[in-house]
Structure 1
Amino acid sequence: MGGDRSQHGHPAEVRRQASVPTTAAAARVLGAITGAGGRGLLVGGCVRDALLAPGSTPHDIDIEVYGLEPRALVAALSRVAHVAEVGRAFSVLVVRTQGESFDVALPRRMVRTGSGPDDVDVVVDPSATLRESSARRDLTINALAFDPASGEVVDCWGGLADLDAGILRHTGPAFSADPLRVLRAARFAAQLGFTLDPSTVALARELAPQFAVVPTERVWGEWQAMAATAAHPSAWLDVLDETGWIEHFPEVAAQRGIAQDPRWHPEGDVFAHSRLAADAGARLADEAGLTGEDRAVVVLASMLHDVGKTVSTQHRADGRITSHGHDEAGRPIAHTFLSRTGAPRSVIERVLPLVREHMVATTVRDPSAAAVRRLARRLVPATMLEWALVTGADRGGRGTASGPASTGRWLELAELAGTTRTPTAAILTGRHLVEAGMTPGPHFATTLAAALAAQDTGVITSEEDALAWLAAR
């Protein structure tokens, strides 16, 4: 553990003056706790984030209350806010006031229920100390507490030293109670640019076989949160690799050791390229102002765009390394990965065409308007803008060979055609077919698809053209 140790082998408690700004609503809740004779501490991520970004007001403020019994706490908070109970025995209270929401909890500690490694439980204990309560948290940097009354950060586990050093270290044995904490640590590495302490890496490797007990929706939750927020997705991949957890994502793991032509990819194998491309995708998505699922789609597509090379790479007799068709081959591999990981349909359907079409600007440098219209339609429900970002990430993830994407002309033509976000609407519709006396049936879809192709090539540019084209069939 980081920091000086007490006589019991634990890090000695450290206090440091700090500023953790709070809102008027948070002050109202804290005031109610103090007025009832309790002591309210800010805990967890809000303290960590405030120390990392001095002067900022943290979001998602969590409050832990000492010195009050559950019913006394509820009574005090109910005088100033709406209170809802979540969990067992008042373990967490959701408190809403002045348009803000806070999680307020009593101290909890780990209790052994048997002799096995998983025989532990978390119980509410109003008499527990801060050290006992914070021991159940995953990482030392998340076990920090801030006392608004004294203006001090209270650190029982060496979190301040780890925060200063950029280290992610497990707080204690409680880390093993939930194997998902390995993915949480990987996400923090990707968000903060921190590295795992060797002891935490070793523990994570021990926990790797327990991946099977983690619900798929929780696994996806960490992948999604990483892709939506992390500035360093490569760090996520690095942690998965060094802890052995990457083996649970075989489509990603298979990229390791797949060689590339050094003329185009001096950065190394496909895994090295995917690391750099994911970081480039995150940067480009941020520059484009993307957030949430939109950002996650671009980052994931950037990370997965070359998975097809795992099955299409060939070493030629002349020493050249090729991977013809890897773009198309990558689509089903990416689909398998995303489905297994729990990604929702809304994400899968956008990532897959971005993977399949990421080579278009490389093979066609001088596109026609028709080519742009056809690409926009093939990308649906993804967009030309997202495609340009993923293509840019591919070009920006090549180490010393990195450069700008050759998508400028494509986007210029897309802007002229109004297809940067959606394809052009179909001119010929089913209504026209009915009015022409055609009987509805499977042939409608064939006819409308052919009409769309004619529209994209410029044969049909108006309703009059469409009717003439239909009459000539």
Structure 2
Amino acid sequence: MKEEEFARRLRAAGARVFLVGGWVRDYVRGVTPHDKDYMVSGITEQQFTALLPEAVKVGRSFPVYLVTIDGQRSEVAFARKERKTGSGYNGFSVDYNPEVTVEEDLYRRDTTMNSLAMELPQGEIIDLYGGIADIRQQRIRAVSEHFCEDPVRALRAARQAAEFGFAISDDTYALMAACQEELGAEPAERLLAELRRALQAPKPSVYFRSLARAGLLAVVFPELAALIGKTQPVAFHPEGDAFAHTMLVVDTVAAETDSLLARFAGLVHDLGKGQTPKEMEPHHYGHEERGLAILKAWNARMTLPREWLQGGLFVIAQHMRAPRIGKAAKIVDLLLAVDKSCLSWPEFNAVIRADHHSLPWYLAQAPAIVRQLKRVSGRDCPAGMTGPQVGVWVRNQQVKVYRNLLIDSDCAD
């Protein structure tokens, strides 16, 4: 069904039809909009399903239907207003009767740029709370005091700042800070969903810095908050403390790759510095081992994607030695270990390069070197060799292959 037909059917029954959310926001921003979300008011569920019998209901606490419009499965929600009755995002009483207005629905949304609506079919934009002005001023501002009623909105505001490069208003920071108590009780799945989207942003650091300014970083990501104030040798880290370094690394990785795995690995590579004894600073001897334990504890608290956990642990363990080892045998072992890990070479190298500002020859040329190493086969070992002897022979041959490649590359020390 075409959008015009969808709107015509509903309007003929006395309903109003709106485009809402990100599509309208991006339209105003001059960015190509993507998925469309619709809202209807002035109609009952019974009338709606009679007009659109093909609609599939997916909403639980309030009506949301999937309808194929212009060839796309789109969400159609009923205008609603809510009353806070408990804690968390489930603590609401929802009213979606036909008398609920678009004004009431938009008033309960998180930020002004998401409180815009476009009425169909004429395309008139409804901007009741200054969303267009805030977009033009690149400002993230809460629509109302209702912002605090869902504490994850504080994370969304920080994430929007990272996604769009907008500044969060001071009054919105105050509302974010007021979410602290309830945010600590939110399901890990909601926190992880916002983390995933924040890592997709052009500069993920904005998300974490915004949470820190609002006093929320220690609530949601105490592992990262522990890095704040951890001093480092200025000669190696002029950017500042361990938190500043981590933010620099994650942004540098994000500038190089869209991989969420690489970005997460960059985010956690120095977690161990958060538990460095004060008397040891600005040095952080042994922070790799401490970091492994911290990331495992993070995973126990908030189950991470398996690939993130594995990749993060690998980078924590290897990020200091990977660009510095000199012995051929150890380099061969490292190259083969990375090749077997869940990280691709571009992902692993993006983190190492961001952390150390350069790559040694053996990492820069790693894919080609590993291909040569893998050509060594135990089937070619001398006759009579068995068991562990074969493995020793293979490794020795691989070391010889690496040394020959190093000489041929004119990169010999």
Normalising by structure 2, we get a TM-score of: 0.84
Shift of 1:353: 0.5
Q: Which amino acid aligns with 2:317?
A: R
Contact 1:373 1:456 in 2 (8 A): no
Q: CA deviation at 1:262?
A: 0.9
Give the whole-Å Cα distance in 2 for the aligned partners of 1:93 and 1:374: 52
Pairwise CA distance, 1:447: 8.3
Contact 2:322-2:334 at 8 Å conserved across structures? no
For the Cα contact (< 8 Å) 1:301–1:390, is it kept in 2? yes
Match of 1:217 among 183, 189, 213: 189
* Shift, 1:35, TM fit: 4.6
Matched, 1:457 2:410: no
Q: Deviations over 1:405-462 (max 9, x none)?
A: 224542314324239xxx9499559xx9xxx9x9xxxxx9x889767755653599xx
Percent identity between the aligned chains?
30
Distance across 2 between alignment mates of 1:70 and 1:307: 51
Matched, 1:353 2:314: yes
Offset from partner CA, 1:298-350 (integer Å, 9 cap, x none): 1111122112223347767xxx9422333343222223224423312222112
Map 1:221-236 → 2, pairs under 5 A:
221-227=193-199, 229-236=200-207
Judged with a 3 Å threshold, the aligned counterparts in structure 2 of structure 1 residues 448 and 180 are, in CA distance, closer, same or farther, namely farther
How many angstroms does 1:362 deviate by?
A: 3.4
Find the partner of 2:59 among 72, 87, 92: 87
- Structure 1: distance between partners of 2:262 and 2:297: 18
Q: Verify: 1:267 aligned to 2:239, yes or no.
A: yes
Q: Select the residue among 28, 45, 48 that pairs with 2:25.
A: 48
Secondary structure of residue in 1 paired with 2:81: strand
The aligned residue for residue 300 of structure 1 is 264
What secondary structure is seen at the aligned counterpart in 1 of 2:365?
A: helix
- In the TM superposition, 1:256-405 aligns within 5 A as 256-285=228-257, 290=258, 295-312=259-276, 321-364=282-325, 368=328, 371-372=331-332, 374-378=334-338, 380-395=341-356, 404-405=357-358
Structure 1: stretches of 5+ with no match in the other structure: 1-23, 396-403, 439-443, 461-473
State the match for 1:70 in structure 2: 45
1:92 Cα offset (Å): 0.7
The residue identity in structure 2 corresponding to 1:305 is H
Pair 59,459 (structure 1): closer, same or farther in 2 beyond 3 Å: closer
The aligned residue for residue 158 of structure 1 is: 130
- Residue deviations 1:264-303, cap 9 Å, x none? 1111111111111111111111xxxx3xxxx221111112
Q: Is the 8 A contact 1:313 1:322 kept in 2?
A: no
State the match for 2:215 in structure 1.
244
SS in 2 for 1:418: helix
2: CA distance between counterparts of 1:331 and 1:259? Answer: 20
2-structure distance, mates of 1:90, 1:256: 42
The structural deviation recorded for 1:136 is: 1.5
CA distance in 2, matches of 1:361, 1:49: 43
What is residue 367 of structure 2 aligned with on the other side?
414
Contact 2:138 2:167 in 1 (8 A): yes
Q: Is the 8 A contact 1:252 1:307 kept in 2?
A: yes
Q: Is the Cα contact below 8 Å between 1:354 and 1:382 reproduced in 2? A: no
Deviation at 1:106, TM superposition (A): 1.5
Q: Measure the CA separation in 1 of the matches of 2:94 and 2:310.
A: 40
Equivalenced residues, count: 397
The amino acid across from 2:165 in the alignment is: G
Amino acid at match of 1:49: D
Deviation at 1:98, TM superposition (A): 5.6
Which whole-Å CA distance do the structure 2 matches of 1:116 and 1:183 have between them? 14
